[in-house]
Structure 1
Amino acid sequence: MAALTKLLVVGVLRTRAARSITEPAALARADLHRRFRRLVEAHLREGWPVARFAASLGVSPDRLHAACTEAVRRSPQGILHDRLMLEAKRSLIYTTLPVSKIAFDLGFNDPAYFSRFFAARAGLSPAAFRRTNRGGET
């Protein structure tokens, strides 16, 4: 009985030790994800690649990827694309700007590439999305 109790105590202590080692690392990754999200907001329209965000944060792209994947189960590229799509949809619904102007405003150098990017994610072209979501207005 004493031996089982000792094994139980050792197991609890090892678990606590493992948590104390991993919790600071998990907190650091969560903080990195938050800082990445703030940078995305600040530089969304500048067309930064993930590597530039990582460099600005002082980490490797792989470390940024691990932090984002752990925090929200999305890659940094996925987070960036989601945010671009949200802004694109807002602009298409709430403004009358031409699609080409929206593309340039979001940091795309080529409106045709923006249209392909948007269509691949939304399932329809920016113009069709606008018509569908504004009741046929253009």
Structure 2
Amino acid sequence: MIGTEAWLTRLLLMLVRHTRLSSSDNHDEAANEISVTDRFRELIDLHYRQNLPLRAYAAKLAISLVQLRAACACTTGQSPAKMIYSRIITEAKGNLIFGEMSVEQIASGLGFSDAAYFTRFFCMEVGQAPSQFRLTARE
């Protein structure tokens, strides 16, 4: 009986230690994903006007595209592309509300070679054309 009790105690301690290690690994993994996402946001702020492919961002972070997607999905619930789009839209909205540039100038400043494509992109993301957004926001 004492031998069985000692064996069960030992087994229980091994399980507790393993659980702690697994929990620590999960914490380290989550912290790493947050760090990757934060560094990705910094890169977005530096390069969102350049229309870089996602692979270029992953290369700058020294990770794979799969790792970048996983980190973004885990920490923000968004894809890396959606995070870039959100940054572009935020800048576009600011320019439309507070600036006097034309839609064509804003599009060019954000790295779009075609103002019509920018307008379609803005409509898909915001739900209205840039010029309509400007009028509504300024009223």
Normalised to the residue count of structure 1, the TM-score between the two structures is 0.89
The worse-fitting range, judged by mean Cα deviation, of 119-128 and 55-64 is: 55-64
User: Distance between the aligned counterparts of 1:50 and 1:37, measured in 2?
Assistant: 13
Tell me, yes or no, if structure 1 residue 105 matches structure 2 residue 81.
Answer: no
User: Distance between the aligned counterparts of 2:53 and 2:130, measured in 1?
Assistant: 23
Give the gaps of 5 or more residues in structure 2: none
User: Distance between the aligned counterparts of 2:50 and 2:114, measured in 1?
Assistant: 14
Cα RMSD after superposing both structures: 1.7
Aligned residue type for 1:96: E
Larger Rg over CA atoms = 2
Q: Between the two proteins, what is the percent identity of the paired residues? A: 38
User: Distance between the aligned counterparts of 1:7 and 1:59, measured in 2?
Assistant: 38
Given candidates 16, 22, 37, the residue that maps to 2:20 is 16
Give the gaps of 5 or more residues in structure 1: none
Given candidates 34, 38, 54, the residue that maps to 1:34 is 38
Report the count of equivalent residues.
135
Give the drift of 1:91: 0.5
Alignment correspondent of 1:64? 68
Given candidates 54, 58, 64, the residue that maps to 1:50 is 54
Alignment correspondent of 1:93? 97
Normalised to the residue count of structure 2, the TM-score between the two structures is 0.88
- Look up the SS of the partner of 1:124 in the other structure: coil
Give the drift of 1:51: 1.4
Alignment correspondent of 2:79? 75
